Chains A and B, each alone.
Chain A
């Protein structure tokens, strides 16, 4: 992955899971604007981010992590 920042790594995973080019993923990118972001895609997306950063999200948190900004913030908050 070319961008080693948290934001860059989250965007790379979003791109792979959802099939969206990385440069089309920016601030404001969320599940609402993406039909590919299904519940199964969300499950796998969360798991890929957990694996990548070595973190675990709780059940309430997971249902809210539906945008690039929230995902990046949640990972950053864990100090990963």
Chain B
């Protein structure tokens, strides 16, 4: 009766029979409808293999997990370890867990494990031994997983399941349950953090969200080790679904934001920039906090984009100049502010950012816009947004698809890189000559000797730079330090920025002064700054220093690697001529190379912007 190919929308429709937080029996019944699909073709892109291991009865949790995953558009193939066998399953490379080959393994351990151990002897054991007895075998199991398993492992932190009876002096002692739990969590966190594929699941946070008295069902706990209440099962499942989505690369990569009554209160076109609600006082504080949450997501690498029916100039005015706006223009990877259809604008954003529509999530306060966009772009995530803006900040963190598993320091700058590349391109196409282009870039450089703090980046540049590199020699840190200490080498570093953004440390030169000849042992530029004339600034500085030291000539070595012709052109363009196949020379009795007047020299305080720019951005 249904098409054979299952879509995320079909899964979501089945899940809608059990609204979030419904009674367990509703989830259980809805999961039966999923079972009815099992024979049908489920596309690979919609399925994740998920294993559950735990210290208590988890059978009733599986239907809840499958339904919350279905609500996120995901089909789960599940494996449940036998009751209480979580350690055995982890430790035995031939166990069902490893045969199943999950993409995500959830390890659900309740605080009772700690509680029982504490009272295994009289008097209660000290927390150190209790924690050691629990964590040592657990991490032995995770070591086996590293070798025999695949995918990620998610382990929850421990929760005090009930009010303590340890008395008002408990805080003085280490032999208490509260201390044991805190101690276990500390060590769990520290030890999980050193492993790439393990994650800490914030169970204490989820329990707090649900409320501890509502989170545990003591009746079923004692009757059959079903510890989680219906409400906790639903809350945990929704978060687990986020991990499952992320593990198969289906998490959200970009949030598209409406503006009026979403990022600020009121309608900009009617209320004007001074009339919208945004700031530390209510009601603007509701939107300010929402913006803070969004920026936290952006910091992890999720892009923010804006899509609004407004006049672009008015929106830019708010983004640039509103005193309380936190999400500024440069926080947005892209904008579509016009009076056109939002679905078309979202498609255009997807194209511009090169992100698939099923990796985007749209937040708009208007139910009409949401309904329209949902209909036009079924694969887009369009969650219902709370009508009450005081709920926005607390709500956005509950969206399951906002899980970022892999994070590098680059991710925090991803938005900036999108925007900078776009702005430079727009600027380049709007200007004529190269020099005119360079003059308008607002280039700033800072040239300094290599220091302890910059040495790792210097070594990295030696290792990575292939094009603009005279010799492609890969110097290591020990060599550099030895030569500098011996006075044989001067190592120059150059940091570069322009008005669109910061390139960081992107130029390095090694000079070996030998009497009246200064020899360029190495000279390299990151490809990020090729074409910006900053190499001229660096060689000009070296020539100045050489003249000051009474040198008569610069020499340079060039080793043709087949890929570094741009470095040979650099020598020609700056007055060097070859004296043999590898050696080039430039007399310092001829003037130059001159410092490019359009580049501000922050270390020497010269150039067009030197006075205004005291420090690098």
Contact = CB atoms under 8 A, between A and B. Distances in A.
B23 A43 contact: no
Interface residues of A, number: 19
A47 interface: yes
A69 to B, nearest CB: 20
Contacts of B60: 40, 44
Contact of B28 (A16, A43, A46, A52): A16
Interface residues of B, number: 17
A51 B23 contact: yes
A17 B230 CA distance: 13
A62 B222 CA distance: 13
Contacts of A40: 57, 59-60, 224
A59 B32 CA distance: 29
A59 B220 CA distance: 11
A40 B57 CA distance: 10
A19 interface: yes
A45 B29 CA distance: 12
19 contacts: A13-B25, A16-B29, A17-B25, A17-B29, A19-B32, A40-B59, A40-B224, A43-B220, A43-B226, A44-B25, A44-B28, A44-B226, A46-B223, A47-B24, A47-B220, A48-B23, A48-B25, A59-B223, A62-B223
Contacts of A17: 25, 28-29
Given A40-B60, A40-B224, A56 B219 contact: yes
B459 interface: no
Given A43-B220, A47-B219, A47-B220, A19 B29 contact: yes
A50 interface: yes
B204 interface: no
Contacts of B29: 15-17, 19
Contacts of A45: 25
Contacts, number: 43
Interface string B215-227: 0010110011010
A63 B224 CA distance: 13
A44 B23 CA distance: 11
A40 B217 CA distance: 15
Interface string A49-62: 01110001001001
A69 B219 CA distance: 23
A62 B220 CA distance: 12
Interface in B443-469: none
Nearest to A13: B25
B26 interface: yes
Contacts of A15: 29
Nearest to A49: B25
B23 A52 contact: yes
A47 B25 CA distance: 10
Contacts of A44: 24-25, 28, 60, 220, 226
A25 B494 CA distance: 80
